[in-house]
Amino acid sequence: MRTEATAGGGPSRPPTGVDVWLFYPEPRAADTRATRLAIRALCKEREWGYQERPAKFQRLDSRPVHLVAPVDAHALYRRLHRVDVACLVMDSADVCIRPDVSGPSCLRHLRTMRQLTLHKSFYYRYVPGTIDPAAWVDGFESWRTQVGCDGDHDPRSLPLHVFAVASTEHIEWPATTKGRADFDGRYGAGARRTDSEDHLWVINRHDFHGREVLQIAGHRLQQGVHWDVQPVDGRPIKVHSLVELWETSSYLNVYPDSCFRGTGSSKRLIPRR
């Protein structure tokens, strides 16, 4: 049986809730139904939350892709910061990370669901022909005993579809100690980083907002932790999540779960108020 899986590492961690999210190719809804029902029953037996979403087939400039709705991917990404999540993908599933582009232009802004959830969830891909509904469970259970983040200065805490990287290869770097050092060397370290679009990301520990305590791969962050994302040179910048686009000439609060909080000089462009 061939599979693809990723997991984090570190000391033991406190227990939390569990969600399982399954993405399947919409054209294969009928022939994947039995496996999906078995996975649903498995989750119910363990009292784990279960969600499934279709990935719609599209051709982008002759390239066939299965696209997850950005609103679904955003909901999953937020959930990663509240409970332990297993992200299961049948065949393939991609998402466009920019809400202001569509059609073939999306090709430049596609991320696989693995890339989107990397460092923050357990990922398992059902390659074509794999039907064992429990094939991922042992790996997920092992992942849940470990901690995969050291805190808000760890690049794994960043929403890496909002923080612009020069190459998708750089999304992989934080998975190892050396890679985290390389990431810090390329984009800055600790409480002050600069992404590949020259947006400055600053953590100000004296100015945290919010009541929620988010988690990343078993590590509980400080209440209200966020980055003040601002222009390097004072000129207005645009910052996007999967579902929002903002413009600011001062700064925008960006949280680890990719939620935004506008400031006085910030304007939300998508969706319009």
Residues 175-220: pLDDT tens digits? 999 999 999 999 999 999 999 999 999 999 888 887 889 999 999 9
Question: Taking a C-beta distance cutoff of 8 angstroms, is the pair 251, 154 a contact?
Answer: no
Report the distance separating Cα 78 and Cα 55, nearest Å: 19
Please count the other Cβ atoms lying within 10 Å of the Cβ belonging to residue 68. 24
Nearest to 115 by CA among 132, 138, 95: 95
Dihedral sign for Cα atoms in the order 102, 107, 108, 111:
positive
Q: Is the peptide bond before 236 cis (omega within 30 degrees of 0)?
A: no
**In the structure encoding, which two tokens stand for residue 37, read together?**
């029902």
How do residues 230-241 score in pLDDT, each as one tens digit? 999 989 999 999
Q: In what order do the strands lie in the sheet with 63-67?
A: 3-6, 122-126, 84-90, 18-25, 49-60, 63-67, 94-96, 110-112
Q: How far does Cα 229 stand from its chain's mean position? A: 18
Average pLDDT of the residues of the chain: 93
Q: How far does Cα 15 stand from its chain's mean position? A: 21
Position 15 scores a pLDDT of 64
Taking the model in full, what pTM does it have?
0.93
Report the distance separating Cα 4 and Cα 136, nearest Å: 10
Reduced to 3 states, what is the DSSP secondary structure of residue 18? strand
Would you place residue 9 in the very low, low, confident or very high pLDDT band (cuts 50, 70, 90)?
very low
Tell me what the mean pLDDT of segment 245-253 comes to: 96
Report the distance separating Cα 158 and Cα 182, nearest Å: 15
Position 7 scores a pLDDT of 43
How do residues 97-141 score in pLDDT, each as one tens digit? 999 999 999 999 999 999 999 999 999 999 877 789 999 999 999
